[in-house]
Structure 1
Amino acid sequence: MSTPQDDPVDDRSPSPEQGFASRDQLRAMAHPVRMEIVERVGRRGTARAADIAADLGIAANSVSYHLRTLARGGVIVEAPEAARDKRDRVWKLAQIDFMHAPSHDASVDDDYLSASAETTLVAIDWIRSGWIAESARRRAHHPEPEGAQAPAMLFSTPMRLSREQARELFASVQEKLLEYNRLNRDESGADLPGDPDSGGHAQDVRVLFTVLGERPRDGRDADPGSSAEPPAPHSGTE
């Protein structure tokens, strides 16, 4: 399997300068542990391998390997201003979020779409695993009668929207996510001490939504030209 550094640079690929995650960034993040590491680095602002290892409960040498992979992909960069000396390796995110370029962008090719799909599947599992862990924690702290469930909150609803309505929905949700992220995070995306705008009792919230396209009608395939254009999936540290 090729790695980001093995592939020739494609100047047509979406890039951070365009406001989108690059193909190499997406490929680097397409791993469950690396998704967790990206979140923790972002939440801390700057982090060492030992910090992340303590947060996630995994070996520091394993974290170092994943950090190097993320660095090669351009997801994180070194933060020498936070280092104690020249041997101290401290990392920070290369950018605050990693928006996937939409499929209708002229610079998006099959390789980019593949990388986007892989990262999105990891993000789905990231949300799923977080929900399972929180449900287990609630059951442990608030035992219910045998057979009863005390799951974490999860909301789901189907909608039928036009292409333009789907884009408007995505834009409004993205704006609201940024607004609420600013409540307890600084300009770099790092958590502020004490969660000041939440009274010290902020909770982690993971958000995911998608557009699936148009359902077939009367057993026929839907006209692909009339389906809603899926908004770019968002991977980051919301």
Structure 2
Amino acid sequence: MSEMRRITDPEALKGLAHPLRRQLFRQVAQFGPTTGAVLAKRLGLDAGQIAYHLRELARHGFLEEAPELAKNRRERVWRAAPGAFSFSERDFEAPEMQAVAGAIGAQMAVQQFERLGVWQRGAESWDESWQQAMTSSESYLRLSAQELTDLCDELHTVLRRYRDEARQDARPDDGREHVFLFFHAFPERPES
């Protein structure tokens, strides 16, 4: 099982700050290894522009080449680097880097809720078993900071196990679909 990589290098974080790079990373991480040409066609963008941003993502450790998946020596296949990553504004001393981290985090949250909206608008088009499998949940807990850290670590362990097992057993006809899961866990105080 691969561990969580904490991004503390300002240059690596800047490498993820570009909206197109975040979109490309998500495409590769969610849908699996692919080429720049496929991504360019899927997103309706210039292949040269896509190739540049894929190289930048690889330079900062978010993607890696998968030459064993290429059809020939000229084709470049990209896959997500193993493991998940995280970052926090608190990992950076410079105010401008704290602002970059905050802006990326805020944009990621907006995109997560936009994706939830896409699901909700199109849920009826999915088979009943998928509609039943989907869940939304709110929980109200009273925890210490250490208990919240432990809870999040345990949840990440479960997620990594499911991700790794699905990769080992993956077949085109195995009944699996790409599933997007997100949760947020943070302390709140009652409004005064």
Same fold (TM over 0.5): yes
- Equivalent position amino acid for 1:59 in 2: L
Q: Is the 1:27–1:118 Cα contact (8 Å) retained in structure 2?
A: no
Name stretches of at least 5 consecutive residues in structure 2 with no aligned partner: 127-133
Identify which of 44, 55, 63 aligns with 1:76: 63
Equivalent residue runs for 1:7-18 within 5 Å: none
**Percent identity between the two aligned chains:** 24
The offset of 1:194, in angstroms, is: 3.3
1:80-139: CA deviation from partner (whole Å, max 9, x where unpaired)? 333344432222223322132694x6xx43365444323322321221121121222235
Counting matched residue pairs gives 180
How many angstroms apart in 2 are the aligned matches of 1:201 and 1:77?
25
How many angstroms apart in 2 are the aligned matches of 1:136 and 1:25?
35
Higher helix fraction (1 or 2): 2
- Equivalent position amino acid for 1:109 in 2: E
What is the RMSD of the two structures over their aligned residues, measured on CA atoms?
3.4
The offset of 1:42, in angstroms, is: 2.6
Tell me the equivalent position of 2:54: 67
Identify which of 99, 105, 109 aligns with 2:93: 109
Q: Secondary structure at the match of 2:82?
A: coil
Equivalent residue runs for 1:141-180 within 5 Å: 141=125, 153-180=135-162
How many angstroms apart in 1 are the aligned matches of 2:63 and 2:36?
12
1:190-231: CA deviation from partner (whole Å, max 9, x where unpaired)? x822374xxx1445132121314x5378x6xxxxxxxxxxxx
Tell me the equivalent position of 2:13: 26
| TM-score, with length taken from structure 1 | 0.60
Equivalent residue runs for 1:1-238 within 5 Å: 19-21=5-7, 22-54=9-41, 56-61=42-47, 62-100=49-87, 103=90, 108-110=92-94, 113-138=98-123, 141=125, 153-186=135-168, 192-194=170-172, 196=174, 200-202=175-177, 204-212=179-187, 215=189
Q: Is the 2:87–2:101 Cα contact (8 Å) retained in structure 1?
A: yes
More displaced 10-residue stretch of structure 1: 60-69 or 177-186? 60-69
1:22-43: CA deviation from partner (whole Å, max 9, x where unpaired)? 4333322234443332133234
Q: Secondary structure at the match of 1:184?
A: helix
Structure whose alpha-carbon radius of gyration is higher:
1
Distance 1:31 1:126, change over 3 A: farther
The offset of 1:166, in angstroms, is: 0.9
Name stretches of at least 5 consecutive residues in structure 1 with no aligned partner: 1-16, 143-151, 220-238
